[in-house]
Amino acid sequence: MTRYDRAEIAEFVQRWIEANAECERNKDWTPLADFYAEDATYGWNYGTKDDFMAVGRDEIRDIALGQEMAGLDGWEYPYIRTIIDPETGDVLCLWKQIARDTVDPKTGKPYEVHGLGGSWFLYNGDQQWKWHRDFFDFGNVVDLFMRMYEADALTDSMKARFEAAGDKPAGWYRIEDSPAPLWPVSAPDEV
């Protein structure tokens, strides 16, 4: 089993968090692709039938960070906690999802997804992520987006995505057809 230097991973995670904040300000997450290995995978589950999966740095840039973040202009994802396992290179980050530019008229505060959101990463030792899986409270995300849709609080591009919900964009797969497993396969010495 590979052991990583915890300080090296922590420094890399800090650069990642700072780059995320910069991308939020610029409303463009595609520069984050430089943090991934060339053959990295990035995915998440979306209910009982579908997974999203981007395979390789180019798909991560174009589909996960481009297509999938389109319409989330003005959203921020502040990182709340980070857990690093230097034995395996696993990194767990918990974050919130806040639409900072859009105020909920009922609360007078920005719309925010209730529940936990997070990212599970595997560090590959080269100042890059080998893989990345997001998780979030699907029910609360759907509820918030429906409330925002009804209040006409979504960006035009997010409204268009909502209205085309029956069409599967690039990167969306039936669970059984995903090009990479949602749960990354462990090496025999990690079991």
**Taking 90 as the threshold, does the pLDDT of residue 156 lie above it?**
no
Query: What integer is the mean pLDDT of 169-187?
Result: 86
Task: Tell me whether residue 35 is in a domain.
Answer: yes
Longest dimension (CA), the chain: 53
**Taking 70 as the threshold, does the pLDDT of residue 144 lie above it?**
yes
Q: What is the domain-level CATH number for residue 22?
A: 3.10.450.50
What's the CA gap between 100 and 109, in Å, rounded?
9
Task: Tell me whether residue 185 is in a domain.
Answer: no
**Taking 80 as the threshold, does the pLDDT of residue 78 lie above it?**
yes
Task: Tell me whether residue 163 is in a domain.
Answer: yes
Task: Tell me whether residue 137 is in a domain.
Answer: yes
Mapping DSSP to helix (H, G, I), strand (E, B) and coil, where does residue 131 land? strand
Query: How does pLDDT run across 94-120, given as a tens digit for each residue?
Result: 999 999 989 999 899 999 999 899 999
- Domain boundaries, position 129: 6-174
112: CB partners within 8 A, 6+ apart: 96, 97, 98, 99, 144
Domain count, the chain: 1
Residue 53 · residue 43 · CB < 8 Å: yes
**Taking 80 as the threshold, does the pLDDT of residue 32 lie above it?**
yes
Task: Tell me whether residue 77 is in a domain.
Answer: yes
Query: pTM to 2 decimals?
Result: 0.90
Task: Tell me whether residue 188 is in a domain.
Answer: no
Structure tokens that stand for 148 in this block: 């925002």
Tell me which residue of 120, 117, 46, 55 sits closest to 83, measured CA to CA: 120
Angle between helices 156-163 and 138-150 (to 10 degrees): 110
Task: Tell me whether residue 186 is in a domain.
Answer: no
Query: What integer is the mean pLDDT of 7-13?
Result: 97
Task: Tell me whether residue 182 is in a domain.
Answer: no
